[in-house]
Structures are given as C-alpha cells and as structure tokens.
C-alpha cells in the first residue's frame, strides 16, 4: 500500500518520554515510512533533562522501532518539517483539555505553511492520564514509575531527584 505521506514529525518536549508517547510513536510508525521524534529546545520552559539527555532516553526506549529518527530543533516546527521534507505533524491528545491548544497550534501551523497537515492521535485509554509533568512529580516524591515511563527512563528520573 502506497502511503501519501512518507515522513511525519512528532514534536514535543519529551521531558521525559512517557509510555503514552511510546504508544503513539509505535502506532504512527506503522502509518509512515519514517517518523521523526523532534525534541524541542524550549528555553522558556524549565526542563528537568537536557535536550541531549532526552534524545538519549528516547533512542534507548525506541531501539526496536526501525523507522524512527530522533532530532532536536529550536524554532518553528513547521520550518523544521519543511526543511526535512515532511508534510505531516503528529500531535497526541490525552484529554479534552488538550484539544483546544492542539487545534489552535494546528491552525497556526496551517497558516504558516498550508502544505503541512497536523494529525491528532488520541492517547490509548490506559495512557490518557499520563503527562511528563505528573511523572516528574511522582519521581520527585519517590513514587513508583513503572507503568508511567519506559524502563530506560526510570533510572535517570530517580537520579535527577536523588532517589534510589
């Protein structure tokens, strides 16, 4: 089956990557020839992990998926997509509260470049409640991280908060 769009960009902060992110990546990797996980440089956000640390955790967590690539970018995601020839941006939706933000973002991107489509992918029910922010709070307070993040992320998260 020929795919109309061969490359998709899945942007985010991934601070850290969660099982919800992994679920969406696994699902979209079946739809596109290549999926680029784009780690955002967001100087206005206080990140727990450096961009390099996030890239390493993502690569380790997704080593079994062959058609993904991890990259980073500072600036407009649409400009990155244009530069690498991608025509699709993928955004994940957890709950209804995400919809308004993601719809606005998709419309802004469409205004900047009408050739690039934004596709919203719903989180699977077992992951819809997981956010990186909540995961960091659980880790900070010494809570269990299994079922929230990939095994490759548990150690780095615990070390950041000085937990064992």
C-alpha 85/C-alpha 79 separation (Å) is: 10
CA distances from 27 to 22, 31, 127, 144, 153 (A): 9, 7, 13, 26, 20
Choice among 27, 56, 94, 140 that is catalytic: 94
Active site residue 73: no
Choice among 13, 47, 132, 136 that is catalytic: 132
Beta bridge partners, 17, equal: none
Active site residue 104: no
Active site residue 132: yes
Choice among 2, 45, 64, 164 that is catalytic: 45
Decide: residue 94, CB within 10 A, 0-12 exposed, 13-18 middle, 19+ buried. Answer: middle
C-alpha 95/C-alpha 74 separation (Å) is: 27
Choice among 21, 54, 73, 136 that is catalytic: 21
Enumerate the active-site residues: 21, 45, 94, 132
């Amino acid at each position: 089956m020929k795919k109309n769009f061969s490359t998709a960009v899945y942007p985010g902060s991934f601070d850290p990557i969660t099982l919800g992110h992994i679920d969406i990546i696994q699902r979209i990797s079946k739809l596109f020839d290549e999926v680029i996980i784009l780690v955002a440089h967001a100087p206005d956000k206080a990140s727990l992990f450096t961009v390099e640390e996030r890239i390493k955790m993502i690569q380790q967590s997704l080593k079994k998926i062959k058609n993904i690539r991890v990259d980073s970018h500072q600036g407009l995601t649409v400009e990155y997509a244009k530069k690498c020839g991608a025509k699709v941006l993928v955004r994940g939706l957890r709950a209804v509260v995400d919809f308004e933000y993601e719809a606005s973002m998709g419309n802004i991107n469409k205004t900047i470049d009408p050739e690039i489509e934004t596709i919203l992918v719903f989180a699977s029910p077992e992951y819809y409640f997981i956010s990186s922010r909540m995961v960091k709070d659980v880790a900070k307070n010494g809570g269990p991280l299994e079922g929230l993040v990939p095994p490759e992320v548990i150690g780095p998260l615990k070390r950041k908060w000085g937990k064992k």
